[in-house]
Structure formats: structure tokens, C-alpha cells
């Protein structure tokens, strides 16, 4: 992680934090919440607006500021999930064809292979969002955000081995649930 940043009280420092983290936060929310993209963008905005209002109570370095944003995003996603449970609408989980464009598939893959991968991903997306929130978060951090096990362990305040085992169990559960969906 990088060295400490200037206090977030300064708009310029906050602006830099936004520029540095907005894509990561967006992907985190997308992975955790599932979509649709408009709601993910709304949640992303809410994260930064809350952080802006609460910045006076924040103290920490670059890594801490990112973790702080993840915590805010996590709570917002939980709240949004609760609202979704009250008003069920799984439209967000049915990724449209545009989702295929976000998949960086191998250029060597044939059109058939690419189509198969897209369909597999759509199914995987539904399976992923039936995982408990804590498991989903680990998968999102590890694969969608590309964090190392060490970084996830630091963020979750757990041992690296524990995180590794947890990730392995998440993948097993995904495979187990694959045919159930």
C-alpha cells in the first residue's frame, strides 16, 4: 500500500481519493450488489457523499481511506439488499448482453467458446449472488478486484491461511450450487 495521504478534509485530497478509488468502489458494489448498473452507480455516488460528510472523523493513510470507503460501501449494499428483499426484483441479476462486453475473453477463443463463456458467466453471476454476503465479498475482492490474499486478510483482520481456506470453500460452494440454480 502507498504512503499516507493528506487529510481528507481538504477537497483536493478528497478529489484525489475519488479519482483513485472510484473504479474499485464501483466494481466492488457491482460485485456485491449485482446490478442493474444504474443502481450500482447510485450506490457509488452515495458512498462518496457519505464519506464526504463524515470525512472530519476520518484519520488514516491511503490504505485506511480505501478500507473506510469499502466499509461504507458494504453497509450501503447491505441496506440496498434489504430493500430488494422487501421489493423483490432480480432484474439486476439477469445481466444483459452488455455484460458480455465487460468480459475480457481470450482473443484466441472461438465465437462458440466466447458465447459459452458468456452464458456460463451469467449463470455464475446468479450463483454468486446467492452466496452469503461475507463469502461473496471475499470472492469479489479476490477475483473481481484482484486483491492478494494478504490484502484481503489485512482488510478483514484475519489470518492469510484462514482467508485462503475461506476462498477455497467459496469456490466449492459455487460449484455445489451450480446445478441447483
Peptide bond between residue 134 and the one before it cis (omega within 30 degrees of 0):
no
- Contact assessment for residue 34 and residue 93, using Cβ atoms and an 8 Å cutoff: yes
Cβ 124 to another protein shortest distance, Å: 6
SS3 readout for 134-149: HHHHHHHHHHHCCCCH
* Per-residue contact flags (x/-) with another protein for residues 3 to 32, judged by CB under 8 A: --------xx-xx--x---xx--xx--xx-
Cβ 17 to another protein shortest distance, Å: 9
- CA gap 2, 121 in Å, rounded: 33
Q: Which is nearer to another protein, 141 or 153 (CB)?
A: 141
List 85, 87, 97, 104, residue binding another protein (CB under 8 A): 104
Angular region, 7: left φ>0, alpha ψ -120 to 50, beta rest:
beta
- CA gap 139, 131 in Å, rounded: 10
**Cα dihedral 41→45→51→54 (10° resolution):** -140
Tell me which residue of 81, 92, 91, 76 sits closest to 34, measured CA to CA: 92
Q: Which is nearer to another protein, 16 or 157 (CB)?
A: 16
Total residues in contact with another protein, by rule CB under 8 A: 47
124 binds another protein (CB under 8 A): yes
| Grid cell 466499509 in the structure block, residue | 71
| Contact set for another protein, span 148-177 (CB under 8 A) | 171, 174-175
Q: Which is nearer to another protein, 1 or 23 (CB)?
A: 23
List 76, 139, 149, 152, residue binding another protein (CB under 8 A): 139
In the complex, the residues that contact another protein under the rule CB under 8 A are: 11-12, 14-15, 18, 22-23, 26-27, 30-31, 37-38, 40-41, 44-45, 48-49, 52, 90, 94, 99, 102-105, 116-117, 119-124, 126, 128, 139, 143-144, 146, 171, 174-175, 178-179, 181
Amino acid at each position: 500500500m502507498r504512503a499516507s495521504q493528506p487529510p481528507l478534509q481538504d477537497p483536493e485530497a478528497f478529489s484525489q481519493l475519488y479519482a483513485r478509488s472510484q473504479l474499485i468502489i464501483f466494481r466492488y458494489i457491482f460485485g456485491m450488489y449485482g446490478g442493474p448498473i444504474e443502481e450500482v452507480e447510485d450506490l457509488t455516488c452515495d458512498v462518496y457523499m457519505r464519506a464526504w460528510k463524515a470525512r472530519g472523523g476520518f484519520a488514516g493513510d491511503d490504505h485506511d481511506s480505501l478500507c473506510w470507503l469499502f466499509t461504507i460501501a458494504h453497509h450501503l449494499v447491505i441496506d440496498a439488499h434489504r430493500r430488494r428483499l422487501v421489493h423483490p426484483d432480480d432484474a439486476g441479476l439477469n445481466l444483459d448482453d452488455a455484460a458480455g462486453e465487460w468480459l475480457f475473453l481470450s482473443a484466441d477463443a472461438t465465437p462458440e467458446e466466447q458465447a459459452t463463456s458468456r452464458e456460463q458467466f451469467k449463470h455464475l453471476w446468479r450463483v454468486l449472488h446467492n452466496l452469503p454476503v461475507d463469502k461473496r465479498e471475499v470472492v469479489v475482492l479476490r477475483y473481481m478486484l484482484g486483491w492478494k490474499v494478504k490484502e484481503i486478510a489485512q482488510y478483514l483482520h484475519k489470518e492469510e491461511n484462514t482467508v485462503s481456506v475461506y476462498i477455497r470453500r467459496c469456490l466449492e460452494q459455487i460449484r455445489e450450487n451450480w446445478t441447483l440454480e
